[in-house]
Structure 1
């Protein structure tokens, strides 16, 4: 995912207060080490044509694939990546790149009309990493909440929120207790979250080297074992209830420039 370092477009705002006015971040206790962690990647058009057969042999257990951005763009490599990850036995998830200035309902419709989740797929992800000077922190969070609730209703599972450590600290900590976070922190120090929040994925580098991908790629750790990762995936009953006609998705297939 593209992190715009140093740019947020909004002035920093104090985090929401937790019970007893506790606002201190704490490092959530995780029982894993990089050497034993479940490894995954996330890809978009920047990785172009990925050789998923080779990726599947590189101890990559899961992959998040960029599906949509804003209110009218589908990643041109989404369909191929979505099908190939499944074909090669890699647990897959789809993410939407959120644009605060774009109409939220249009962003919801773009994603839900583009992504059909099946049994075994990971929950949808909302990628929140940019802001707009015309959108206040309160409005930003309201739009995020609207997207999350609508997508939860559509798929029957709560999405995961992706963001950077700094963005999380400024705008999100303590405000989305019902959702798991996926934190980008390019450091040897694991993510830190508010006591009321939890994280499950750590994007620890954007310069990973994976066989089958000719460019640098984001590499992630999952907190938990392979069985826990499977339990996070979409169950059969939910998947059957969220099928969408492919014809309904075609109208949104506008490629990125």
Structure 2
């Protein structure tokens, strides 16, 4: 999606948000800013905001993100609650696999929910090992959302400059592997302190638990807004994050992995090799 198109979508989204907040403000957490602390990530009020992907009117496209903290999710019920997309925790650092990832990954696709996988980043852990763990765990298919790098924590031994260098290394390695650029997830405060203006070529997913939309540098763009971490959705028996997409359902689909980039780690050719066959260099 080009930046002008994104900005246009954001303006429409802001207008829709103004109209909706009278109905959902009660679910907000009173001005807290941040990103899924304790790596819990959770969602919001369920029936107050309804996704209408086929409507010609301005609509809000909402989703959830889940991890082991939500345990076994009934994705059939989640789908019926008009949830359009779900981000699913896959890995953390260089050693931890989310025990519910495989189930969530298959069930979301089976029930027609657009799915994306995220990696919880540990600054003190070698970035190469974190890339290896994620790419060996997650297989993308056409229609999936791009990978997500979840940035929430810091480490005293890692300077902000080194953090950004390592983050870029993860992003570039994962781009090379899958053939699509990842999305950066972070909280509003973390973004301001460490990321603002440093990654203009990547889209952001920002947690800001407020009735005010995420605030970004003029060179950056946010695609997803995590509105609350204390939501309630049918089919999920614990608090879950709720997220809004800055556009309509058609634009969400455009963001997803196209068919010719869909890639399994068992394929012989990388997605970039496939792309070269389709679009040969001059």
Q: TM-score range by the shorter chain?
A: 0.7 to 0.9
For 1:168 and 1:158, the matched residues in 2 are separated by 18
Higher relative helix content: 2
Q: Tell me the distance in 1 between the aligned counterparts of 2:103 and 2:266.
A: 18
Q: State the distance in 2 between where 1:154 and 1:31 align.
A: 34
User: Does 33-42 or 56-65 show the bigger shift?
Assistant: 33-42
**1:30 shift after superposition:** 2.6
Give 5+ residue unaligned stretches, structure 2.
1-8, 21-58, 268-282
Q: Deviations over 1:32-87 (max 9, x none)?
A: 22443101000000000000000000010000000000001110000000000000
Aligned residue among 121, 131, 134 for 1:111:
134
Unaligned runs of 5+ in 1: 1-27, 247-257
Do residues 244 (structure 1) and 249 (structure 2) align?
A: no
CA distance in 2, matches of 1:176, 1:117: 23
Structure 2 distance, partners of 1:96, 1:133, is 21
Match of 1:170 in 2: 193
1:188 matched to 2:211? The reply is: yes
Partner of 1:102: 125
For 1:197 and 1:54, locate their aligned partners in 2 and report how far apart those are by CA, in whole Å: 35
Alignment of 1:74-153 (within 5 A): 74-153=97-176
Report the secondary structure of 2:201's partner residue.
coil
TM-score w.r.t. the length of structure 2 is: 0.76
CA distance in 1, matches of 2:209, 2:189: 11
Aligned residues: 217
How far the C-alpha of 1:29 sits from its partner, in A, is 4.8
| C-alpha contact 2:135 2:177 (8 A) present in aligned 1 | yes
CA RMSD of aligned residues (A): 1.2
Q: Could you say which residue in structure 2 is the equivalent of 1:67?
A: 90
TM-score for both structures, normalised by structure 1: 0.83
Instruction: Confirm or deny that 1:233 pairs with 2:256.
Output: yes
